[in-house]
Structure 1
């Protein structure tokens, strides 16, 4: 009988990024005993990779900004597929969460009169991103981590969760293992918050770090939680494509917000030719007007480089496909010819230092060669917009793993404030739920034993397959068949590949002991990665249109049929995944007026409550 160590918590938070730490803080404030599990180390969460800033309509740079303009921008950027109530909760609360971070010690950049400074970002009508140079995510994690440690969180680092534990249809804990020792750990909990981040590692080219294997999506789905909008994968337009030492590393949107421009191999600034009809009139048509806007002219229109990420990513791909791309399949992002070297080093210090050290590239003297890289998933676990509760009792989700807020496409900067707004809500609701659960902590011993046996199976299968080879095959085929541009035959081919990989993922072989065994870790990751990959492909097949982060070559235009439909991925009793189309929640008329406002002047504080 395999031994394990047991821990008891009121609330177990899985993930120690921005959402997880904020959830833990909120639950502790409600009096709950809280445990936090992280695959990596405290402070090493993928949140630190969000560099440009956190969006909040504070009005510090442009006093006209308010939650209604942010509400409109977020819904417009998301193709109106967002859950409107989540967007309202988010846009109203984001400024308070930024000010809260400042009270806890975050050191934001300041305006000349001492307010928190805010910068321009794609899809935002006004400068809205509170920032700390170009390392905002790092400051957010530092601040939340210090505050959480001071409050007394119990952290289990380098620990992977293999399965959620259930009793009577409710989640009552989780089974995991320590990556250093291989020891199994059972966490008994009255409520569980998933804050596990994204799924970028299912793709070959991604800005996501090694932890982002989609664990939370699959763990939730396996216990019956619904997933929503899984077809919408955001390919950030500006990931480095050359030199090889920095390939896939993100170039923050802040580079374009500070004046950087995109050019093709002919030296042409091509974004002026790629403004979609729905954005006509909002973006500059000449370089002169774009520059005036950057210099603070309130009557000028925004540079087209600040269009939403899906638009910019497809524009770069178009230049490449039509023979005007850079030598390594991207485009040039140039800030060197636009701003003085001292300005770049002050405003974008991390960009300057990391590319000098890692790629011997001086961004103050030469352009960067960039292209689309898998960056973020808009979809996720379906949650209640007020509490972040899933449809499974005792299970909550927040951050990138939760769906609904971003619709078809996320605006840059909306991710960091999403983490703290909904991390807080999830932690509060989980603690309140846990407080109502009477009786002792209970888990099913037989369930625990069965999952442990499953997890150890690769050690007892000498004729099985190499898990590293399987993961390489998964990532390459997802990139080819379900990447930035999709087509029905390729998606169907990928479903067949995934059906084959799913069988093979349960027939892997690893050797050696359980301590520090990356082969074993990869074998178990693969079981979850094929599940979430299937959900992405099924949803992509069902949406026969192009919208936001989902682009179909065979259906290149938006289709009104799908304009008011979310796709839900639901697991049937036999374990198979199915797509269910559901209508969007009905938006009240006063909120619809805000969302569809043509003139920003309409969104004064006189409109709506």
Structure 2
């Protein structure tokens, strides 16, 4: 899958990466040899590494899989495309859900599951939801035992806060840096187990015949050399695809769909790609600068009592959700903000105001230290004045179709986990469930993969055909680096971001989606004229590699959004604004010789215990918080 760049960020594409190599490979027997002839047929020198399990992605999901493997006596190789510890998990600030009952003892996992189904508009995979919600109390205790410094109540229990659309206070937190603290904890645990790790490596293709995988191909972004990984087991934990949008809460070179594209090309299926969550509160406005546009203002601000006002000073959520107010579901709040702006009640920057200054300043500094620090650096004191916010693409509910007990994708030897997959969240994700899914399902997948590894996996076979495929990929990468056309990858990625924002954003319709697909086809045509500046150590090549994955996933998302002719959760069609009971089905996408195909699949039912919790109709009443 030699692809082409992530999102336009104004770079020229010819800067070099800083060298910070720390690939600890203790505990794994790597066979390494340099192969290929750079002077022959456009080839690329490459290193061959053997491992029983390859984990692609070094965020929380990948780390938890690797920990479980290591604790089972398996030495996986974890590959990340950034420096060790620099994963997107660190950007999940507000908290992680578990029905501990620290403050609300009546809460339990069935109510957590019911809230998750309600927020997901009942498109969730029941097994995925129930495995996650049942597992989470134990996973929180596990993180606590590994040293995660959760905030505490006066009695010393793990503290919990409200998050949107949750019936009880079940979001555990470390101030407003929960994801960062969690990843640090997981990495420390992995390092204590001597889990091998390679950083700054980009995987560009899985070696697959559509039935099974025999390894992976990529390149080291520091040395510029190719990498062939011989393995019978690959776990994809590479994140989602929200950064395809013009305004998003990710870094431009992450969450660009590479995990989904790798899986699709290898023969796996994707599901629920039409559901993209727009977080209601992303930074917006000239006072913050372009660098901060779209960056997340954590839901913890609203969970701690933050209020939304339009430019006329009205607390407008009273019109849209008088009971749950600012803590209604993310899709509801995001659409409310979009409606206020569209009807002329927004700020000059196209946003609204988020204000928590009515709370005590010391309390704000204690509970939201990162937010206070960030805005102070930009000249805004959030303890005394409001922030300007607007919706931003934040999370993708869709992804690889898996069995949640095993992580299996239907392609032998290929597994997936985390935001790379679909199922837990349905049509809209409950805040605080993303971090929960990574550790709950990550443990289960790691346990299953460990049980699947046999003695024969110590010396996996790469067939002559697969080696030829790998060498073709190396040749394609070398050719890509030498591309001397007239179109920069970053320019096409920026156009793709605008296209999706305009035609597949918070509000969609058939005409806009069809126009988006036509414009996407034009973008594909223009990739034949790419200009890539530099060799394989340049950012330009990375962006060029990302582009084809982004185009593949964008097409699948647009096709699915066009197919689903109703409104449900994060997918809102202005030409079909009602939810249709006949559309309680998942859309499954596969790649074939004639392009993408889309099929419909029915959704299973929750267990009797969860159905009982759903029937009780638990719901947050915001006003008792005030």
TM-score by length of 1: 0.91
Correspondence list, 1:39-58, <5 A: 39-58=81-100
Report if aligned partners of 1:102, 1:108 keep a CA contact under 8 Å in 2.
Answer: yes
Q: How has the CA–CA distance of structure 1 residues 586 and 62 changed in structure 2, closer, same or farther, with 3 Å as cutoff?
A: closer
Residue of structure 1 aligned with 2:360, choices 330, 340, 358: 340
Mapped to 1, the partners of 2:204 and 2:528 lie a distance apart of 14
Distance 2:435 2:73 in 1: 26
CA drift at 1:460: 4.0
Cα distance in 2 for partners of 1:128, 1:41 equals 32
What CA distance in whole angstroms lies between the structure 1 residues aligned with 2:154 and 2:619? 26
Aligned: 1:223 with 2:266: yes
| 1:508 aligned residue | 530
Structure 1 gap ranges (5+): 276-282, 285-302, 602-609
Counterpart of 2:372 in structure 1 is 352
Match of 2:284 among 241, 249, 271: 241
| Matched ranges for 1:146-225 at <5 A | 146-166=188-208, 169-209=211-251, 210-225=253-268
Cα 1:472–1:168 change in 2 (3 A) is closer
The corresponding residue for 1:489 is 511
Q: Corresponding residue for 2:596?
A: 577
SS in 1 for 2:408: coil
Secondary structure of 2:231 counterpart:
strand
Distance in 2, matches of 1:448 and 1:201, equals 28
Aligned to 1:250: 296
Partner residue in 1 for 2:184: 142
Does the CA-based 8 Å contact 2:282-2:294 persist in structure 1?
Answer: yes
Of residues 460, 466, 469, the one that matches 2:488 is 466
Residue 121 of structure 1 contacts residue 254 of structure 1 at CA under 8 Å; is this kept in 2?
A: yes
Contact 2:82 2:201 in 1 (8 A): yes
Aligned residue in 1 for 2:392: 373
Of the structure 1 ranges 552-561 and 459-468, higher mean CA displacement relative to structure 2 is found in 459-468
Q: Is the 8 A contact 2:274 2:571 kept in 1?
A: yes
Q: Which residue of 1 aligns with 2:624?
A: none
Match of 1:274 among 320, 324, 341: 320
For 2:210 and 2:430, the matched residues in 1 are separated by 39
Paired with 2:470 and 2:50, the residues of 1 have a C-alpha distance of 15
1:528 corresponds to which residue? 549
Shift of 1:590: 4.7
How many corresponding residue pairs?
A: 571
Shift of 1:588: 4.5
Distance in 2 (CA, whole Å) between partners of 1:194 and 1:135 is 25
For residues 494 and 600 of structure 1, the distance between their equivalents in structure 2, rounded to whole angstroms, comes to 38
Q: 2:7 maps to what in 1?
A: none
Shift of residue 450 of structure 1? Answer: 1.2
Shift of 1:258: 0.7
* Residue of structure 1 equivalent to 2:448: 429
The Cα shift of 1:34 comes to 0.6
Cα deviation, residue 464, structure 1: 5.3
1:406 aligns with 2:425: yes
2: CA distance, partners of 1:591 / 1:201: 34
What is residue 582 of structure 2 aligned with on the other side?
561
Q: Tell me if the contact between 1:57 and 1:70 (Cα under 8 Å) persists in the aligned partners.
A: yes
Summarize the Cα distance change of 1:575–1:180 in structure 2 as closer, same or farther, 3 Å threshold.
Answer: farther
2:566 corresponds to: 545
**Cα separation, 2, equivalents of 1:591 and 1:256:** 28
* 2:450 counterpart SS class: helix
Q: Which moved more, 1:20-29 or 1:426-435?
A: 426-435
Distance 1:589 1:145 in 2: 38
Tell me the distance in 1 between the aligned counterparts of 2:104 and 2:597. Answer: 46
Bigger relative contact order (CA 8 A; separation at least 6): 2
Is the 8 Å Cα contact of residues 50 and 459 (structure 2) preserved in structure 1? Answer: no
Distance in structure 1 (CA, Å) of the matches to 2:99 and 2:397: 21
1:173 Cα shift?
A: 1.5
SS of structure 2 residue aligned to 1:474: helix
Cα distance between partner residues in 2 of 1:46 and 1:341: 29
Q: Secondary structure at the match of 1:10?
A: coil
Give the drift of 1:138: 0.6
**Structure 1 residues 338-363: Cα deviation after superposition (integer angstroms, max 9, x where no partner):** 20111111110000001111x21110
CA contact (8 A) 1:133 1:346 kept: yes
Give the Cα–Cα distance (whole angstroms) in 2 for the partners of residues 175 and 268 of structure 1: 55
Change (3 A) 1:91 1:168: closer
Rounded Cα–Cα distance in structure 2 between residues aligned with 1:556 and 1:395:
38
Matched-pair contact (CA < 8 Å) for 1:567–1:581: yes
- Residue 395 of structure 1 deviates from its aligned partner by 0.9
Whether 2:112 is the aligned partner of 1:70: answer: yes
The aligned runs of 1:41-120 (5 Å cut-off) are: 41-120=83-162
Secondary structure of the 1:396 match is strand
Partner of 1:499: 521
- Give the corresponding residue for 2:473: 451
Q: CA deviation at 1:256?
A: 0.7
Gaps of 5+ in 2: 1-36, 38-43, 621-626
Residue 233 of structure 2 aligns to a residue whose secondary structure is strand
Distance 2:406 2:151 in 1: 32
Structure 2 CA distance for aligned equivalents of residues 528 and 350 of structure 1 = 33
Query: 2: CA distance between counterparts of 1:118 and 1:188?
Result: 44
